[in-house]
Structure 1
């Protein structure tokens, strides 16, 4: 089996913080653990600790999973070897060291003490002989904190040097690969060990198709889902995917959104539900669906999905129960608060989870903050009054910048009862959460309050440029940076880095709060207009690059902005700017095509058509809307009505004076004709040729090249191979002249397959390799699958049974995972594989077994010559 490329250590962005696993006995070394936590967080890293409230010996699977998610191991050893659980041979302390991956950096600190358990002495002696571990003695907690901070800083500096490469990998490609991954929490998770264990147990049973984490906003459903997914990775060998539904408001967008996060490209050629079912078939995957309550009407879709994909499990977060078959509800409890009416405990190991959370978040502001005899009662009162709601506690803790605990407690005592009384229509804990946000916002000056409410129009994340554009005529407009910083300090706005850019976000319940207040003051429509105008301008700026040399960067930039592109279209439709919505969608036609979002756009365009009676639309907008509405029908359910509908689009575009769009609609109409069992190929060819001429005259090289590809496919099906090659050649020439990598890859894959079928093996091999390189550069997995199959065909023709069969299975795994099918007429590798199977069945079988285990990077390495692979090795590290 081919091994993957060596991975150089990487320096992560803040949204991928380095995780430091801390191993020690709990009670004996409580002060030392707190010192290590402080050192780790001082460097803005994420400590991974089974801390206060945890059981003495966490389940082995749980800390194994946390170790797998961590990057650095820190061991702190004192006098005690620790408890040995029933049926175990070693303590959790030694087991954690044994389970730490061999390549993980290990920093070991041994406390000077007069006595030490014999088994701990043996463990330390073994560690001293381990040349992968760094080993130091320390005297007390303060001494330890200095050691840890210094050693981690040194380790990061070394890793930074090692991570340098002559050329940085493409950030756009790297960003695409992050889609669907479980996000790493920005802060430490406290008090959820029992819940994580309980959810993992539900997932492990395998009897519940949907596990729903139910609770009010701010109770920590998303955080519990993240931690549970991380702790359950070993249960789902085929992957864990995190699908953020926060900006998805239409039930019809559930399937397109799931497809996007699974990496399934929707080009309209097959029903999206069928593609997802194909991608999930026989795969043991966990799909986390976060913030489901806003599209709860789409819940029956999950039943259809788990029916066709019975090995997939869904972990859902929602404020309300889905009430579907196969659902297991887990009510997310609040954090524990101090019992009775007593003060918070001064003993860290006996502290309630709510108080521990308050102290942890307060220390981000004041590193010396702790429970003292003076503030213990106030902290207990705060946590009880906030009912153990994690977000409410974080908002209150953020106020230690300006208020002490007594002042916070006093203000909550006065404000909270009045505020909760004003929102009696909400469930009890939801009232408390909303009231806490209200109290937190009430402490802001008016400009910052106005900014927070205006930010409610943004989707999942947003940039400073977008905020400043929104504020051009707002009171806070000239102070956006300072105001954003103040909101971040108050935990109302989150900051992170994505694709090399600083981005901001609001938690779902804060966004909901902000938007409600924006509506109450009557400004929602005006701010939505400003939001939509900014993103209209942005796409008009980016769109010209989609058909040319800036294609890869343009696709990556639009991918980062996708949640707000959705919101902008929604704002345009909602405010009856229907013609603007149509132009917005048409402007991004190439992006929808390359990225596969046709089903999503169709939802918006059908909504637009339904609103015609409220706001008349132009013939051009009607043509755009019908074009997108008919696109999927053209491939999946072709009929005379679809052909007639696309013909109407041609007429409307021509009447509007848009010959360019009319030619594209004409090409689509021809494609619809070809889908019939009674092929009207002569008429289809005539329409495609007419479209090519018009598009060439209009200078629309991207559409011209794509239409030449369609002509080539049609000629191939008709048996006119010379004509097919000529069309593929012209498509490639036109695409390459503009730097259109996507169409170059599509045309090249078809041309190389046809050349191979015609016996031109060497020529086909060169182009298979070239298009494979292009597809890797674009992070275009469908193209990678085609390229691997092409090289597989060449290897099979040369009698390389093991290599050919390994590549075939690896390509098939990609196809299955992203839900793509192929037209039998264009498949060239399978006949040769069957011949090899008859000649050398043993090698073919061995290759198939190996191919099923290959990563994408390993498969590409197996396919490419060494000097070619070195060109894309960096890009593949992000896959």
Structure 2
């Protein structure tokens, strides 16, 4: 049973139990009502049923009141529509459903029946179309009792879980995130004004869900997409996101990559398309997908996304058409060149775009360069020979460092026909672009040519240290810096600053060219292995910090290297170093957890398992691969098979002598038990306690603290709030002692909410503020949302209507942006806010209006005392 939508504001009962409202016809379904009551009480929840002290046909205001104080709605429907009271248009059965708040979780159970009242059939049909309700058919009361107990346990467990992890976004020099933001071009864009306006017109109509910019490599699709995105920010008030698909080679990685750039972390607990669609729902957004041709088989996923998020538009760059419904194709033209045999214009205002681009790039090298009567014809010939392809023109312009215009034109005239003839299997402009790169590379010294080819194994960007690590035995060994400088001078390699470091990158088409040459030379596997070895060593140095005081810095460092970490795993699997791939993935478990990359790791591990028949793997590697493969299944499709599979991981890890991994797999198996429709909470608790003892003895503080958090959640679900607090206290103590900020934030948020619900307002306030500060330092969006809600609760309890309302809405905006739709069942801020809404509706309304306009930084500033805000102001820069 899948539950969509947000949960209802929780109003606590005196004994702090969750209230479950039960709606049904009293006489027809008496046995079923008794079964549901039993299921609710099995979970120590409070049933709200009219036969428990109310009249058979209660007045509307009474059950409206009961509904307003309930947390979950259960509807049981059989054959009868129920009695319609005088002066009413619907029965109490339908009225109860209508009055249930939209945000309240609704679990609907329909009894098998040959005859059903027509109006009840209509009500059920409406429920089936309601995305805030989940429904299931049943036959007997006994079946119903087990189903309700399982569904309620799963619902509450989902609402308690907070294991989405911190943002590993890529900081700029100031530490701000660049993920998802439209990149700012390093050079002037020339000759694209008309194209930008044409694509903007397509996007503004709102009739095309996908606009595809199609053309060969080097024609300027990415640059046009960037300029269009920047020019369309006013059309998409809810955001423009730029998703770089370069280096994403598996179609299964499309959704994880989109989620990453939207700020959604994949912890495996919900399907990514659900999280993404929830984050985009109702928002007028533009999502740019750059370099889609590598994963064109994933195009149908876009149809699913825009179907559930119809106000979102996708702008795609690709060498080939996607061929999906809703796609509008825009063929990206080449830049205009001088017509016929005409020379380039001496007047800048009448120059063609191709000549203007050549001059602009040439002047970056030689500021005195200009169009003259002597070179005008040569410049025109160059631009015509290169067919107006922007990248080809830039590569040619880079040669003014060593050649004049006549020399460039002469060499192009000699080389291009021969080079294009060698690649006749490509379309015309593809041949020209490939030939231009060939020509440009041919002018390089041999060691620079060799280096360029070796750089093809890197993903997206790389550092000088990484390049030098690949140099052993290569022709350019010991000359990496000078050779890189030569490639930069030739416009084949780009350089820029990121995170305070100098990094280098190749354009996608140049990387493709380089890797192709490397493969043709027979050296690809050798260089891939050197690449993987470098990043394995890097991971071995950085990973130990993930569970301790260096956690935040380690996450940032690994985030900067993420594309190459992905490439390293891919290289290890591709070259059949399967055991090393398993060790690499397991070494980064905490990073995948915190940053939310389980979907893509699962993809690689499944590929690894498929290859084990050709290349034997150790039991430890098999356990690692199955652990990652089962993680998402545990949350999204729990079953006894998943529990058994994790049990097999425990066995394999134990036999391999890795007691630490075995204890973590045991904790995962216990968590899987809780997700089952008929959970064995006692057995799960026993396994979690066993895992905690083992992890403590082994000195794995990170896993011990996380497992204590799981014990606390389970105790809270079972109503044992004292035990829950004790577990959260131990989790916090272990995490703080080890310098584990992330688990400190997770445990602190849970403990502070529970303390607030228990009436410990002042203690909870202190904890809310501390965990909010930790979350800001971690760049942890979800933790910030929880912290804002906590401060909101305290403000509401103190009667600060405007401030509480503003914080509530600001937190809600963060939740929506990052796709958290499995909202915590035990939310703490809304009950008091609802009370204030009744007392001071004007202040609450004004606060809500203001909250909708707050940036994340402004919301944090509103929540924190001035001195605390000053301490995290730098960390907030760029959010």
TM-score, L = length of structure 2: 0.80
Q: 1:326 to 1:356 in 2, by over 3 A?
A: same
Classify the secondary structure of the residue corresponding to 1:875: coil
Query: What does residue 840 of structure 2 align with?
Result: 840
- Alpha-carbon distance between aligned partners in 2 of 1:627 and 1:471, rounded to the nearest angstrom: 36
Q: How does 1:246-395 map to 2 (within 5 A)?
A: 246-395=246-395
What is the Cα deviation at residue 839 of structure 1? Answer: 2.0
- Alpha-carbon distance between aligned partners in 2 of 1:235 and 1:535, rounded to the nearest angstrom: 42
What is the Cα deviation at residue 319 of structure 1? Answer: 0.2
What is the Cα deviation at residue 825 of structure 1? Answer: 3.5
Does 1:752 pair with 2:756?
Answer: no
Does 1:778 pair with 2:805?
Answer: no
Q: Tell me, yes or no, if the aligned pair for 2:664 and 2:691 is still in contact at 8 Å.
A: yes
Query: What does residue 693 of structure 1 align with?
Result: 693
What is the Cα deviation at residue 875 of structure 1? Answer: 1.7
Q: Tell me, yes or no, if the aligned pair for 2:173 and 2:500 is still in contact at 8 Å.
A: no
Classify the secondary structure of the residue corresponding to 1:234: coil
What is the Cα deviation at residue 496 of structure 1? Answer: 0.4
Could you list the per-position Cα deviations for residues 315-341 of structure 1 after superposition, in whole angstroms to 9, with x for gaps in the alignment? Answer: 000000000011000000000000110
Q: How does 1:413-432 map to 2 (within 5 A)?
A: 413-432=413-432
Query: What does residue 38 of structure 2 align with?
Result: none
Classify the secondary structure of the residue corresponding to 1:874: coil
- Alpha-carbon distance between aligned partners in 2 of 1:709 and 1:299, rounded to the nearest angstrom: 39
Q: How does 1:662-673 map to 2 (within 5 A)?
A: 662-673=662-673
What is the Cα deviation at residue 244 of structure 1? Answer: 0.4
- Alpha-carbon distance between aligned partners in 1 of 2:316 and 2:274, rounded to the nearest angstrom: 22
Q: Tell me, yes or no, if the aligned pair for 2:268 and 2:635 is still in contact at 8 Å.
A: yes
Query: What does residue 130 of structure 1 align with?
Result: none
Q: How does 1:128-147 map to 2 (within 5 A)?
A: none
- Alpha-carbon distance between aligned partners in 2 of 1:473 and 1:589, rounded to the nearest angstrom: 33
Q: Tell me, yes or no, if the aligned pair for 2:171 and 2:499 is still in contact at 8 Å.
A: yes
- Alpha-carbon distance between aligned partners in 2 of 1:769 and 1:330, rounded to the nearest angstrom: 51
Q: How does 1:101-120 map to 2 (within 5 A)?
A: none
Q: Tell me, yes or no, if the aligned pair for 1:750 and 1:826 is still in contact at 8 Å.
A: no
Classify the secondary structure of the residue corresponding to 1:233: coil
Q: Tell me, yes or no, if the aligned pair for 1:172 and 1:556 is still in contact at 8 Å.
A: no
Q: Tell me, yes or no, if the aligned pair for 1:172 and 1:553 is still in contact at 8 Å.
A: no
Q: How does 1:237-252 map to 2 (within 5 A)?
A: 237-252=237-252
- Alpha-carbon distance between aligned partners in 2 of 1:409 and 1:177, rounded to the nearest angstrom: 43
Q: How does 1:808-847 map to 2 (within 5 A)?
A: 808-822=808-822, 824-847=824-847
Q: Tell me, yes or no, if the aligned pair for 1:173 and 1:875 is still in contact at 8 Å.
A: no
- How many residues align? The count is 710
Q: How does 1:37-52 map to 2 (within 5 A)?
A: none
Q: 1:173 to 1:828 in 2, by over 3 A?
A: farther
Could you list the per-position Cα deviations for residues 464-500 of structure 1 after superposition, in whole angstroms to 9, with x for gaps in the alignment? Answer: 0000001122110110000000000000000000000
Q: Tell me, yes or no, if the aligned pair for 2:243 and 2:257 is still in contact at 8 Å.
A: yes
- Alpha-carbon distance between aligned partners in 2 of 1:707 and 1:821, rounded to the nearest angstrom: 24
Could you list the per-position Cα deviations for residues 285-333 of structure 1 after superposition, in whole angstroms to 9, with x for gaps in the alignment? Answer: 1111000000000000000000011111110000000000110000000
CA root-mean-square deviation: 1.1
Q: How does 1:64-213 map to 2 (within 5 A)?
A: 174-175=174-175, 177-213=177-213
Query: What does residue 674 of structure 1 align with?
Result: 674
Q: How does 1:850-861 map to 2 (within 5 A)?
A: 850-861=850-861
Query: What does residue 870 of structure 2 align with?
Result: 870
Query: What does residue 804 of structure 1 align with?
Result: 804
Does 1:463 pair with 2:463?
Answer: yes
Classify the secondary structure of the residue corresponding to 1:826: coil
Classify the secondary structure of the residue corresponding to 2:399: helix
- Alpha-carbon distance between aligned partners in 2 of 1:869 and 1:176, rounded to the nearest angstrom: 17
Classify the secondary structure of the residue corresponding to 1:730: helix
After superposing on structure 2, the runs of 4+ consecutive aligned residues of structure 1 that deviate more than 4 Å are 170-176
- Alpha-carbon distance between aligned partners in 1 of 2:242 and 2:175, rounded to the nearest angstrom: 15
Does 1:604 pair with 2:604?
Answer: yes
- Alpha-carbon distance between aligned partners in 2 of 1:681 and 1:224, rounded to the nearest angstrom: 56
Q: How does 1:695-710 map to 2 (within 5 A)?
A: 695-710=695-710
Q: 1:745 to 1:581 in 2, by over 3 A?
A: same
Q: Tell me, yes or no, if the aligned pair for 2:172 and 2:178 is still in contact at 8 Å.
A: no
Does 1:550 pair with 2:550?
Answer: yes
Query: What does residue 478 of structure 1 align with?
Result: 478
- Alpha-carbon distance between aligned partners in 1 of 2:316 and 2:176, rounded to the nearest angstrom: 23
What is the Cα deviation at residue 195 of structure 1? Answer: 0.5
Classify the secondary structure of the residue corresponding to 1:315: strand
- Alpha-carbon distance between aligned partners in 2 of 1:824 and 1:608, rounded to the nearest angstrom: 36
Classify the secondary structure of the residue corresponding to 2:816: helix
Query: What does residue 613 of structure 1 align with?
Result: 613
Unaligned runs of 5+ in 2: 1-169
Q: Tell me, yes or no, if the aligned pair for 2:214 and 2:320 is still in contact at 8 Å.
A: yes
Unaligned runs of 5+ in 1: 1-169
Q: 1:299 to 1:176 in 2, by over 3 A?
A: farther
Using CA pairs under 8 Å that are at least 6 residues apart, name the structure with larger relative contact order, 1 or 2.
2
- Alpha-carbon distance between aligned partners in 2 of 1:235 and 1:575, rounded to the nearest angstrom: 47
Q: Tell me, yes or no, if the aligned pair for 1:175 and 1:498 is still in contact at 8 Å.
A: no
Query: What does residue 128 of structure 1 align with?
Result: none
- Alpha-carbon distance between aligned partners in 2 of 1:607 and 1:835, rounded to the nearest angstrom: 54
What is the Cα deviation at residue 632 of structure 1? Answer: 0.8
What is the Cα deviation at residue 876 of structure 1? Answer: 1.4
Classify the secondary structure of the residue corresponding to 2:364: coil
Query: What does residue 559 of structure 2 align with?
Result: 559
Query: What does residue 96 of structure 1 align with?
Result: none
Q: 1:388 to 1:567 in 2, by over 3 A?
A: same
What is the Cα deviation at residue 832 of structure 1? Answer: 1.8
- Alpha-carbon distance between aligned partners in 2 of 1:630 and 1:174, rounded to the nearest angstrom: 38
- Alpha-carbon distance between aligned partners in 2 of 1:411 and 1:645, rounded to the nearest angstrom: 64
Query: What does residue 220 of structure 2 align with?
Result: 220
What is the Cα deviation at residue 826 of structure 1? Answer: 2.8
Q: 1:691 to 1:865 in 2, by over 3 A?
A: same
Query: What does residue 628 of structure 1 align with?
Result: 628
Q: Tell me, yes or no, if the aligned pair for 2:211 and 2:327 is still in contact at 8 Å.
A: yes
Query: What does residue 593 of structure 1 align with?
Result: 593
Could you list the per-position Cα deviations for residues 620-654 of structure 1 after superposition, in whole angstroms to 9, with x for gaps in the alignment? Answer: 11110110111111111111111111101101100
Q: 1:173 to 1:401 in 2, by over 3 A?
A: closer
Could you list the per-position Cα deviations for residues 492-537 of structure 1 after superposition, in whole angstroms to 9, with x for gaps in the alignment? Answer: 0000000000000000000000000000000000000000000000
| Farther-moved stretch of structure 1 (831-840 vs 742-751) | 831-840
Could you list the per-position Cα deviations for residues 415-442 of structure 1 after superposition, in whole angstroms to 9, with x for gaps in the alignment? Answer: 0001000001111000000000000000
- Alpha-carbon distance between aligned partners in 1 of 2:314 and 2:409, rounded to the nearest angstrom: 40
- Alpha-carbon distance between aligned partners in 1 of 2:436 and 2:573, rounded to the nearest angstrom: 34
Classify the secondary structure of the residue corresponding to 2:853: coil
What is the Cα deviation at residue 612 of structure 1? Answer: 1.1
Q: Tell me, yes or no, if the aligned pair for 2:250 and 2:295 is still in contact at 8 Å.
A: yes
- Alpha-carbon distance between aligned partners in 2 of 1:456 and 1:329, rounded to the nearest angstrom: 30
Q: 1:455 to 1:665 in 2, by over 3 A?
A: same
- Alpha-carbon distance between aligned partners in 2 of 1:462 and 1:706, rounded to the nearest angstrom: 34
What is the Cα deviation at residue 174 of structure 1? Answer: 4.9
- Alpha-carbon distance between aligned partners in 1 of 2:359 and 2:639, rounded to the nearest angstrom: 66
Could you list the per-position Cα deviations for residues 792-834 of structure 1 after superposition, in whole angstroms to 9, with x for gaps in the alignment? Answer: 1111111211111111111011001001134544311122222
Classify the secondary structure of the residue corresponding to 2:361: helix
Q: 1:561 to 1:522 in 2, by over 3 A?
A: same
TM-score, L = length of structure 1: 0.80
What is the Cα deviation at residue 746 of structure 1? Answer: 0.2
Query: What does residue 400 of structure 2 align with?
Result: 400
What is the Cα deviation at residue 677 of structure 1? Answer: 3.2
Q: 1:176 to 1:703 in 2, by over 3 A?
A: farther
- Alpha-carbon distance between aligned partners in 2 of 1:602 and 1:685, rounded to the nearest angstrom: 27
Classify the secondary structure of the residue corresponding to 2:179: coil
